[in-house]
Amino acid sequence: MNPQLDLITIGRVSVDLYGQQIGARLEDVSSFLKAVGGCPANIAIGAARLGLKSALISRVGNEPMGRFVLEQLRREAVDTRGMHTDPQRLTSLVLLSVQDQERFPLIFYRENCADSALAPADIDEAFVASSRAILVTGTHFSIADAARAQRKAIDIARKAGQRVIIDIDYRPTLWGIGGHAGGENRYAPSASATAALQSVLPHCDLIVGTEEELRIAGGAEELLTAIGRIREHSRGIIVCKRGPRGCVVFPDRIPARLEDGLVAGGMNVSVYNVLGAGDAFLAGFLRGYLRGESLAESARLGNACGAIAVSRLMCSAEFPTLPELNHYLMRGSEHRALREDDALNHLHWVTTRKPGPAQLFVFAVDDQPASEAIGDHNAAVRDRAAQLPMLLLEAAERLAATRQGVGVLLAPVAGSGAWSHARRGTLWLARRVERPASHPLQFHGAASLASRLNEWPAQVAAACRCLFYPGEPAALRLAQERELLRLAASCRAQHRELLLEIPVVAAGGSGENTAQVLARLYEIGVRPDWWQLEPQPSAAAWRACAEAIARGDPFCRGILVSARVAPLPGLDQALQLAAEQAIVRGLAVGHTMFDAAATEWRSGHLGDESAIREMTERCQVLIDLWIDARQARAECLDRGRV
């Protein structure tokens, strides 16, 4: 049988809530970040990020946290066919904080939780046999039914000739030792835990644990003695995780000294949070082990993954991807605190963010306050005008029903329910943050930009229009740059995309000015996910912009061409110039495109349906112009190849 998967992990899965106030007791934490956790879930996600085909067998509750786990696993390319939704139990939760480099308080909320009810019936023989290896975890041998489920999986794997891996994953509190307050404790002797683990060891090809965990598995206080006892039960490879000191691997006989094993030294990094670093290590080790690399190379990969993880706050959400791992191994870092390495952080962001649309057409839905649009008319007219954004949203949703990559841009203060309505749909969403026409740049709620953004759903991109005038005073330019850096930092901290509009040409500059501004912003560290640019005056100007982006950030999602006026003679030519560059991915359409229909609707000459239809048709004209321009480029490329 040709295995479809590289790895199936089995056992606990939780939603981990990480205290954001570093140095605080859990009692004093006031806000939390959320991520998927639990040893086997972490390893499955970490392995998938490193290019292995992984799956998880576990249970979650039939509630929002369970759905979050399933959605996140799928987004991480972890196979969820082995996941079961428990209608009677809740998904496990873990609350934890970073008090200092030695103390990491945590509480397990696992009373009758969903994953603890894992049972033999949840183990499908064909599914287990479809993997090259399975990974069982120590915690689930503390629960009778879950232990039988894992033993069933082991029997299937051995019968199919697959490898069996055990992560000892020992938490005394999960074996009923130390009570709920002992979640932070990593070691307490337990004869029942030792007996349960030793009954499994003979069936394992790879045994992985910390020094404390190996002492539990071996049933001895002295580490080397414990490892020797493990060897008496198993011929498998034993890996001893040693935190900042790296690891020691014992492929066969156990030497007289620990240091006579295969020693792989650790990385010189500062510790931020140790929780989950061992899971990242094992994901890295398995990247090598399951792909036939040497044990030394597997250990090197594991140590590097652990080093990256220990320098960040969260577990699975901040485990490295393969491009990150390769970058770190090839180039290292100037920072012991890897979380301060901008290049590594950016690489993490661009390789873990949600996939973006191949083409994007964004329409301004609420670009101006209704009162400004209608001047001094009476309240009834203003109230009617306030409903206009809902019509624009309906037009955008009709377009989205026929094509992918349709989005809307909302104003900083969206009215008439547009903000609430848009969040419930399937459109790509962005919302402005700047005060209109401010120069130097100012934000709405400028004193608390990050707090304001934190109120938005994570899928809403921040959009900002920043005016740059050629030859403007240096002090003004620096003020603009400071604000853009603040915005970029806030977006990255919240895992939020940034759309940055730079209307240099509209401000009186030449095509060269735009590329120069882009290069300067990259130089200072501003890397938006999307750029929005005015139509450039020539193919050379577009090439200069594309080259500036390629040098500054080859992972940029793309450029949107500003289309702020109705189609006029010459617009199709402008779009054809833009379409020559592959980095240009679509259009951003301003509210002026809809002014005629809006005016007719406000006056009562157009009903709702007629206004929506006219707005949809005007948008469709622009989209067709762009698609025609892109198709013409493709045909030119085909002729060139001939």
Tens of pLDDT, residues 31-70: 999 999 999 999 999 999 999 999 999 999 999 999 999 9
| Cα(591)–Cα(409) distance, integer angstroms | 10
Q: What is the pLDDT of residue 372?
A: 45
Give yes or no for a contact between 15 and 93, defined as CB atoms under 8 angstroms apart. yes
Helix, strand, or coil (residue 211): helix
**Maximum alpha-carbon separation in the chain:** 93
Q: Start-end ranges of CATH 3.40.1190.20 in the chain?
A: 7-352
Instruction: Characterize 620-634 residue by residue with b for buried, 16 or more Cβ atoms within 10 angstroms of its Cβ, and e for exposed.
Output: bebbebbbebbeebe
Q: Out of 3.20.20.70, 3.20.20.10, 2.60.40.10, 1.10.760.10, which CATH number does the structure's domain 360-641 have?
A: 3.20.20.70
Which pLDDT band, with edges at 50, 70 and 90, does 642 fall under?
Answer: very low
Percent pLDDT > 90 in the chain is 65
Which residue carries 């004193």 as its tokens?
447
Global pTM reads 0.91
Quick check: 522 pLDDT over 90? yes
Region 545-571 average pLDDT: 85
| Cα(418)–Cα(56) distance, integer angstroms | 39
Quick check: 505 pLDDT over 60? no
Region 201-208 average pLDDT: 98
* 455 secondary structure, DSSP code: T
Q: Which pair of structure tokens corresponds to residue 322?
A: 């393969």
Rounded alpha-carbon distances, angstroms, from residue 485 to 498, 505, 597: 12, 22, 38
Note every long-range contact of 27-32, with CB atoms under 8 Å and residues 24 or more positions apart, other chains counting. Answer: 29/97, 32/95
| Cα(630)–Cα(587) distance, integer angstroms | 12
Q: Which pair of structure tokens corresponds to residue 286?
A: 């398995």
Give yes or no for a contact between 144 and 17, defined as CB atoms under 8 angstroms apart. no
Which pLDDT band, with edges at 50, 70 and 90, does 371 fall under?
Answer: very low
Give yes or no for a contact between 425 and 407, defined as CB atoms under 8 angstroms apart. no
Which of the residue ranges 238-242, 485-489, 573-577 would you say has the lowest mean pLDDT? 573-577
| Cα(509)–Cα(468) distance, integer angstroms | 9
Region 262-285 average pLDDT: 93
List of E strands, 341-479: 360-364, 406-410, 428-432, 461-465
Q: What is the pLDDT of residue 202?
A: 97
CA 311 to chain centre: 17
Query: How confident is the prediction for the chain on average, in pLDDT?
Result: 89
CA 496 to chain centre: 10
Q: In the β-sheet with 92-96, what is the strand arrangement from edge to edge?
A: 32-37, 14-19, 92-96, 106-109
C-alpha radius of gyration, the chain, whole number: 28
What single-letter amino acid sits at 229? Answer: R
Q: Start-end ranges of CATH 3.20.20.70 in the chain?
A: 360-641
**Alpha-carbon torsion, ordered 8, 118, 41, 155, to 10 deg:** -20
Region 397-412 average pLDDT: 89
Cβ within 8 Å of residue 543, ≥6 positions away: 581
Region 524-542 average pLDDT: 94
Quick check: 381 pLDDT over 80? no
Which CATH architecture group holds 7-352?
A: 3-Layer(aba) Sandwich (3.40)
Which pLDDT band, with edges at 50, 70 and 90, does 385 fall under?
Answer: low
Helix, strand, or coil (residue 247): strand
Task: Note the helical H segments in 201-276.
Answer: 211-218, 223-233
